[in-house]
Structure 1
Amino acid sequence: CNLNCFFCHNEGQVNPRQPPGNDISKVPVPMQAPDTMDALPVSTPARDMIGEYPADVRFEYLRSVIEAYYELGGLSVNLTGGEPLLYNRLFELLDGIRKPEGRRLYLNSNVRSAQRLLKRPVHPKIDCIYASLHTLNEETHTRHLGLGSAAQIRRNILALRDHGYAILLNFSLGPHNADDFTEVLRFAAEHGLDLKVIALIRHDTSAQFYRGDWVDPVVLQSALVANQARLESRTAALGGLKEFYRLPRSKVIVKNIALGRMHTAFCDGCSARASCGEGIYGLRTGVDAVWKPCLLRKDAYAIDPEMERVLRLGRDGENETRTPEFDRAALRKQILKHIAAMVGPPAERLFIRGAPL
């Protein structure tokens, strides 16, 4: 990634193949956003995690998993990272995905490398860019996000919107940027951009994770009202209760886990239950081929056996000269297995309230 956000939960997803206790600490990256991951330092945590898998295998795994999920009737996929715009083969991946009508594909990005999108026509597979805008304050940006500038990100967001992409602003709320929310809200209102607010999602139970106390999104209500945001509806949803506000030209979604997040049988006996900052939400995987049902449940991470099968073929010399092929039925089975474990029996699903400890 070409930012260094202290709260990034994706970089907190430790690869279980690494030795226990191995610290995935972040490393400095160039101030100018590189075009691809090749321009990053030789060794970064993300690159070390994927080094065991040949590039073609990683690529085909991503494409195959996305298509397998769509084949099951899955409605939406989020491409995230790290920073997806640094993925060398991003556009090849997008071009190659068979995306049925009515399915959605979202790109989660900090948009520092927006030029990769701006120098070509709008890609038809990208339904919306979830653009991270955690502050417009340069001091906050430098101290807590580390690289580049808030002004650059703001310019890139508007350029992508003007280029033709649908944009949803993402604001991750914490003690470091709670005072910056009003400025971000006004930016969204001024430019007719939709905005989504979530509290920081912890990936560990460290007392220092939030860099202060957890911030309840209810503190934003006065700013919303003062800026003509009108509450239209509330709905219980995976990842936290959602409140939908209407601005004159756009909308604001506030997701608040303190008002309700889903726990299921999957959560029974979890030592981090009281610290949970997300609840049952989404099934994650990536170029590491590790299924991650919950960020706090490292014990539930599982390497996809289909990746292990393909790698064995390669080691045995059976897959050296052709594109690796993943068994779609096997991938669909893995997806259903992990989702079934996450959602559990209906009678044991409940929305719990209260701030994470």
Structure 2
Amino acid sequence: MRFFSAGEFCEIEQVKNVKEGMPSWANLKSRIKRAPEMVGAGIYACFWDRELIYIGLHVGPEANPFGVSVSDRLHKHILGFTLRAHNLSFSNSGLKSILAELNDPSGVRSSIATDLAGLDPAIVTRDKGLSSTFNKARFAARHWEELANAPAAEIMDRFEAGFSSVDCRFFRDMSKGEINLLISREFEKPTIHEFEPCCNTDMRSCDGKPVGLNEVADFVTRTISSWQNLNGTRRHNIIAQTQEAVAQMKFAGKDDPEDDTGTILDPDERYLEYYTPGGQWRVKSAQNGRVLAVGSHKNRVSCLASPARLTALGIVACNTAPSETIMKSVVELEPMEMEGNYARVLKTVIEASLAELEHLTL
């Protein structure tokens, strides 16, 4: 995990005019600075006075999930934690929690709740570009005497961030949503569970032992490395063990599998096309022998790719029958699809199924 001062990923300045209907202290705005070292997908950590307050994940847009700087997220967080953003807003439930709990004598007292209570909720909850949360407001309340009138330079001096990127080779052919889910499950959630940062969860006591930069860095780096090493070894073993087995297969009970190779698709070293004795067309992965697609007649194919993946490629597909546990989609080959080029449709189906298989073996 690499660490960055706030000045390396953003600039903060005070605005001349506060937005109408917002408290006077919501008067700061930030501008992004993009450093090459901060580009990628992975896990980031936010620190205040060198103590952990938040863990999050970063993935770029669908078209470029590994090519966008985490600065795009961090510059918003720094003002979200302090509630000083000029474009601040809350969800309806978040605002209700702030008004109820931060003004409760048994909780953390703060003028934040008093100031917000006198405003129009419709304005406070209207999305203006930066939405904060109750947990972040609770953090700000604990430090409000320091934060309420702090100049931008002082806030930047006290805020730091760390970022650990993942190796994009382990996420090849995945959608942004799939990458998000995997990073969240394998890295983000375990880190939150381990440290319970105050702006992620209600679990951590504000009086608990502080968690520092090195402790977080060691855990995140170890977690990512262990997962990547495990999956790298697993993938290598699968390929090594199955390529030889696939090369020796006797498809359809014949002595020479080449005599039984189909002719619909162009040859490709990644898969093997053949027919069963009953005349069923099939394609198997050349890496592990997993069936990618089957078709009993020319206008219907069942395949491993999910309907969502195929739809994104312009192919209409539906789920297989509940009894089908191997294939995920059924594609009806229509004359108008891809200008009636069945081979082109099937090629796309196989490519999508290979991508699905890659995801399953990670």
For normalisation by structure 2, the TM-score amounts to: 0.22
Q: Highest Rg: 1 or 2? A: 2
